[in-house]
Amino acid sequence: MTDFTDNPPGNDVPKRRRNSGGITLRDVARLAGVAPITASRALNNPSVVSDAIMQRVKDAVAQTGYVPNMLAGGLASRKSRLVAAVIPTITGNVFLEMVQSLTAALAQHGYQVMLGQSGYEDSREDELLEAIIGRRPDGVVLTGIMHSAAGRKRLLSSGIPVVETWDLAPNPIDMLIGFSHEKVGRAVAEYLHARGRRRVATLGADDDRAQRRMRSFSDAAITLGMAAPGEAAIPALVAPAPTNTGFGRTGLRELLEQHADIDAVFCSSDMVALGVLTEAQALGIAVPSQLAVIGLGDLAFARELHPALTTVRIDGALIGATAARFILDRSQDRDVGERILDIGFSIIERDSA
C-alpha cells in the first residue's frame, strides 16, 4: 500500500513509500527530466553540467527534500566531499576571512567544509585530528604548523592532503601557505622607529605565533635603540590566547603604571588594540601624538575607529582560496606546483600610528 504525503493534487513530487528508505536520486532525476547519472554529476560536481540542468536538478531537490547519501557516495567514489578546517578558536575574527574564502571556493566544486576548534593546546589538537582522520575527509586545512609529533605522524600516515596555513616552515607535512611572523615583528619595529617612536612596548597572547612576532619585535626594537636607558628588554605583557579588548585596557594601564614614558604599543591582535585605544581615551591620552597603537588582522572595524587603527594585514581570503586550490588539484591528481607559498603581509598605515 502506498503511503501518500500531503502533496496537493497535480504535484509530481514522488510519493515516499513505506519501505523504500525515502526519496532517492532516481526520483530526483525523474522529476528533473534527466538521467540519474546526470543528476549525480550535478550534485557531486556542478561544474561539469550546464546551468540549465543544474537549476532543474536543484528545483527537483527542493521539491522533494532529497538529501544525498554522502556515505554511500563516498564508499563508491572513495571521496567524502568533505574538507576539515581546524582553527584555534571560533571567536577569532582574524581567521573568518580564510574560512569564508575556503568554503566558497570548495562549494563551487561540490565540497563542504567541516569546521573544528582546536584551542591553543597541542593535546586538544591531537584529539581533534584523530576524530577528523577517522572520518576520512578529502583534505585537512590546519591553522599554523603541526608541532605535535603524534599529530604529524597520524596525518602523514593517513594519506589525506594537508594544508598548513598562517605560518612558514621548511618542512611542512604536505603543503603550506603563510607568512613569517618574525618578519612581521621586525617590520613593525622598523615602522615605528621610522616615525620617531623610541619607547615601545607589546601586549601579546601566549600562543607560539604571537610570541614569535613579539620576540622579533623586541629584538629589532632593542637593536634600534628603542629600549629605556639601562634596560636590556622592552616592556611586555602576555595573556592567555585568545586575547580580547579587556586585556588591551588593563594591559595599557599596567604598562603605563610601570613605564610612564611608553610612546607606542604593538598588540597581538586588532581586538587588543581596540582595548588599548579605548583605555587611552579613558585616560585622556592622545593617539597618536602621545601614544601610537598598532594591531594585527585588519578586521572590518579597524578603519572605522577614531582614530582609525594602523594594523598588519594578512590576506586571509588568499590563504583560503589557495588552500582550496591545493586540495582540489591534489584530489584530481594535478601538480600543485610549489608546495610552500609565502603570501607576505602589509602594514596598513592609518591615524593611530
Q: What is the DSSP string of 195-208?
A: TT--SEEEEEESSH
Total domains present in the chain: 3
**Structural domain contains residue 193:** yes
Same domain flag for 162 and 193: no
pLDDT at residue 47 in the model: 83
> What is the rounded CA–CA span in Å between residue 33 and residue 36?
9
Residue 133 lies in a domain: yes
Which pLDDT belongs to residue 122?
59
Q: Which of 69, 102, 122 is the last residue of a domain?
A: 69
With a pLDDT cut of 70, the percent of the chain lying above it is 90
Residue with cell 536538478: 57
Parent domain of 41: 25-69
Same structural domain for residues 304 and 322?
Answer: no
Same domain, 246 and 285: yes
H/E stretch holding 351 reads none
Q: How many CB atoms neighbour CB 29 within 10 A? A: 20
**Residues 307, 246 share a domain:** yes
pLDDT for residue 1:
34
CATH number (domain holding residue 295): 3.40.50.2300
Report residues of the chain scoring pLDDT below 70: 1-21, 68-78, 121-123
In this structure, the dihedral spanned by the alpha carbons of residues 322, 323, 325 and 328, taken in order and rounded to 10 degrees, is: 180
CA count, 13 A, side-chain hemisphere, 131: 14
Model pLDDT for residues 116-136, shown as the tens digit of each residue: 988 776 557 788 888 888 888
Q: Are residues 89 and 164 in the same domain?
A: yes
Do 253 and 136 reside in the same domain of the chain?
A: no
**Does residue 3 belong to any structural domain of this protein?**
no
User: 0.85 cut: is pTM over it?
Assistant: no
pLDDT at 165: 96
In a domain, 33, yes or no: yes
Question: 3-state DSSP: the chain helix, strand, coil percent, rounded to 5?
Answer: 45, 15, 40
142 close to 320: Cβ distance less than 8 angstroms: no
Q: Are residues 93 and 150 in the same domain?
A: yes
User: Domain for residue 77, yes or no?
Assistant: no
Domain presence at residue 10: no
Residue with cell 582614530: 307
d(CA 307, CA 286): 10
| Start-to-end C-alpha separation, the chain | 76
Please tell me the predicted confidence (pLDDT) of residue 72. Answer: 53
Residue 19 covered by a domain: no
Phi-psi region of 277 (alpha: psi -120 to 50; beta: other; left: phi over 0): alpha
Q: How far apart are CA 213 and CA 240, in angstroms?
A: 15
- Pair 50, 166 in one domain: no
The 292-296 sheet, strands edge to edge: 236-239, 200-205, 264-267, 292-296, 310-313, 346-348
Please check whether residues 287 and 232 belong to one and the same domain. Answer: yes
